[in-house]
Amino acid sequence: MKKALAMILALMMVLSLAACGNSDNPQNSNAGGESKAPVETQKPDDNQSGGEVANKDKPLVWFNRQPSNSSTGELDMDAMNFNKDTYYVGFDAVQGAELQGQMILDYITAHIDEIDRNGDGVIGYVLAIGDIGHNDSIARTRGVRKALDTAVEDGGTIKSDPVGINADGSATAVKDGKLTIGGKEYTVRELASQEMKNSAGATWDAATAGNTISTWVSTFNDQIDIVASNNDGMGMAMFNAWSKENKVPTFGYDANADAVAAIADGYGGTISQHADVQAYLTLRVLRNALDGVDIDTGIGTPDDAGNVLSDEVYKYVDAERSYYALNAAVTAENYQDFMDATKPYGPVSTQLDATAHPTKNVWLNIYNAADNFLSATYQPLLQNYDDLLNLKVEYIGGDGQTEANITNRLGNPGQYDAFAINMVKTDNSASYTSLLEG
Ligand code: BGC
């Protein structure tokens, strides 16, 4: 009898300890301000067994690929509202895309005397498209076409389809643009564009872009005055394969370290999507939900270590449950400031106290381990922040082709306190949420 009593007592102690460690309790949130240490007297929720939160109630952040319909772009609000601790972290795709277009237009304006390599009166560009069903890619294609006046609208939105080859300007997804620079009118033509997808189905594929530029060059040669790309991975592949040697300005997106460094060798420019802020937000929202503090802690409101972001670098759209980092153009004028792409952002780089913010386990996947931006910039940043935020993150790298390659490695969600998901296809949120519901 005594023995049984002792066992029950021991069990109760274990349970109450576990409940203290688990602070995912909305009552703990602190609307106006500073983060608070979890309240020790809290009771576990009904759906927690043995102090454990049900998988379906654990904090979940979607990042980089916003749950949305890949044809219409409509946000998948079911995914974004999966539970009260679900958010998306990305960046402002439209603002960044417009900056990219403007950066190319500014370059043309500043170099108008030498830009038209063969002097045929047509400024020709080629465009590498990442993924025709990805909203970032769509926005960037539109941003370039809008700035260069080659855009064609369909029902109020700019067409983003690839044109294939458009030697004579007859493609229907674009038109020949007119730019007036220094009082003179110039024609701009999208000579070619293509989705860079490899034969296995991986999109944003740098190797495909590197091969495609050779095909385009054999068709157009010195008609190509500018190379534009939806990202730096593809942009650098084209730069290294051809445009560097031929001194043709090439523009990408992401501010990957190799691309920023290449600006010294003639790479035209890139856009920083503030991956340092995004990677922080990706883990920070999980940390806050796990601590049971207001979600704004360490974001718009300083945390107990003084970490805080200013609204110059991010915005939060409540109706979309989404945090968006803001972008900045990186060109010959300022690239020196962007050389270290994997350095944590200064204002949010202070270590959290391990007693108030105890270690938690996070499962996180990168949809394609071969994606230049995600593996060379985003993941190293996450790895810096996970230490600062006391999160033990298991990183899973996908093949960029099938969701199953990733979900197969989420066999035991019960082992983790929170999840960070980067889908292969933006329509596929249910492949993950069904595992958490099951
Ligand atoms: C990045 C690309 C990357 C893609 C992956 C985009 O936001 O700019 O470089 O390939 O995300 O989802």
CA–CA distance, 432 with 404 (Å, rounded to integer):
10
Give the Cβ contact number of residue 416 at 10 Å: 21
CA–CA distance, 89 with 301 (Å, rounded to integer):
18
Of 346, 299, 326, the closest CA to residue 61 belongs to: 299
Please determine, for residue 366, whether its predicted confidence score (pLDDT) is greater than 50.
yes
CA of 231 to the centre of ligand 1 (A): 7
**Which residue type is seen at 267?**
Y
CA of 289 to the centre of ligand 1 (A): 26
The preferred substitution site among 94, 140, 371 for testing ligand 1, maximizing ligand atoms within 8 Å of CB, is 371
pLDDT at position 375 = 96
Between β-strands 153-154 and 157-158, what pairing exists: parallel, antiparallel or unpaired? antiparallel
CA of 29 to the centre of ligand 1 (A): 33
Question: Ligand 1 atom closest to Cα of 373?
Answer: 9
Please determine, for residue 75, whether its predicted confidence score (pLDDT) is greater than 70.
yes
DSSP label at residue 357 = S
pLDDT at position 262 = 98
For the residues 51-71, what does the mean pLDDT come to? 93
Q: How far is CA 428 from CA 363, 373, 424, in A?
A: 18, 21, 8
Question: Ligand 1 atom closest to Cα of 232?
Answer: 9
CA of 215 to the centre of ligand 1 (A): 24
Contact assessment for residue 275 and residue 377, using Cβ atoms and an 8 Å cutoff:
yes
CB within 8 A of 1, min separation 6: which ones? none
DSSP code string of 92-120: -HHHHHHHHHHHHHHHHHHTHHHH-TT-S
> Which band of pLDDT confidence, cut at 50, 70 and 90, is reported for residue 39?
very low
Cross-strand pairs, 317: 322
Tens digit of each residue's pLDDT (9 = 90 or more) over 156-190: 999 999 999 999 999 999 999 999 999 999 999 99
CA of 204 to the centre of ligand 1 (A): 7
Helices in 292-378 by DSSP H: which ranges?
372-373
Contact assessment for residue 419 and residue 391, using Cβ atoms and an 8 Å cutoff:
no
Using DSSP, how many helices (H) and how many strands (E) does the chain show? 14, 17
* Upper half-sphere CA count for residue 36 (Cβ side, 13 Å): 17
Tens digit of each residue's pLDDT (9 = 90 or more) over 329-355: 999 999 999 999 999 999 999 999 999
CA of 381 to the centre of ligand 1 (A): 15
pLDDT at position 56 = 98
Classify residue 222 as exposed, middle or buried by CB count within 10 Å of its CB (0-12, 13-18, 19+): middle
Report residue 351 as tokens. Answer: 């270590």
Give the Cβ contact number of residue 435 at 10 Å: 16
Q: What angle do CA 270, 272, 277 make, to 5 degrees?
A: 170
pLDDT at position 25 = 34
For the residues 258-278, what does the mean pLDDT come to? 98
Please determine, for residue 213, whether its predicted confidence score (pLDDT) is greater than 90.
yes
CA of 415 to the centre of ligand 1 (A): 29
> Which band of pLDDT confidence, cut at 50, 70 and 90, is reported for residue 298?
very high
Please determine, for residue 324, whether its predicted confidence score (pLDDT) is greater than 80.
yes
Contact assessment for residue 137 and residue 127, using Cβ atoms and an 8 Å cutoff:
no
Residue whose pair of structure tokens reads 């946000």 in the numeric block:
75
The average confidence (pLDDT) of the chain is 90
CA–CA distance, 352 with 143 (Å, rounded to integer):
39
The preferred substitution site among 70, 129, 136, 381 for testing ligand 1, maximizing ligand atoms within 8 Å of CB, is 136
CA–CA distance, 245 with 241 (Å, rounded to integer):
8
Q: Where are the beta strands (DSSP E) in 281-417?
A: 314-317, 322-325, 328-330, 360-366, 391-397
Question: Ligand 1 atom closest to Cα of 203?
Answer: 10
Please determine, for residue 294, whether its predicted confidence score (pLDDT) is greater than 60.
yes
Question: Ligand 1 atom closest to Cα of 93?
Answer: 7
The preferred substitution site among 374, 375, 381, 424 for testing ligand 1, maximizing ligand atoms within 8 Å of CB, is 374
Report residue 220 as tokens. Answer: 């157009």
> Which band of pLDDT confidence, cut at 50, 70 and 90, is reported for residue 52?
confident
Contact assessment for residue 411 and residue 381, using Cβ atoms and an 8 Å cutoff:
no
For the residues 4-16, what does the mean pLDDT come to? 48
Classify residue 315 as exposed, middle or buried by CB count within 10 Å of its CB (0-12, 13-18, 19+): middle
pLDDT at position 158 = 97
pLDDT at position 17 = 40
CB within 8 A of 182, min separation 6: which ones? 112
> Which band of pLDDT confidence, cut at 50, 70 and 90, is reported for residue 384?
very high
For the residues 49-78, what does the mean pLDDT come to? 89
- Helix, coil or strand: residue 7: helix
CA of 211 to the centre of ligand 1 (A): 20
Q: What angle do CA 420, 300, 98 make, to 5 degrees?
A: 75
User: Which residues does a 6 A CB cutoff place in the pocket of ligand 1?
Assistant: 64-65, 130, 136, 204, 231, 233, 253-254, 371, 373-374
CA of 168 to the centre of ligand 1 (A): 31
Helices in 22-92 by DSSP H: which ranges?
77-80
- The kind and range of the H/E element at 139 are helix 135-147
Question: Ligand 1 atom closest to Cα of 91?
Answer: 7
Between β-strands 224-229 and 250-251, what pairing exists: parallel, antiparallel or unpaired? parallel
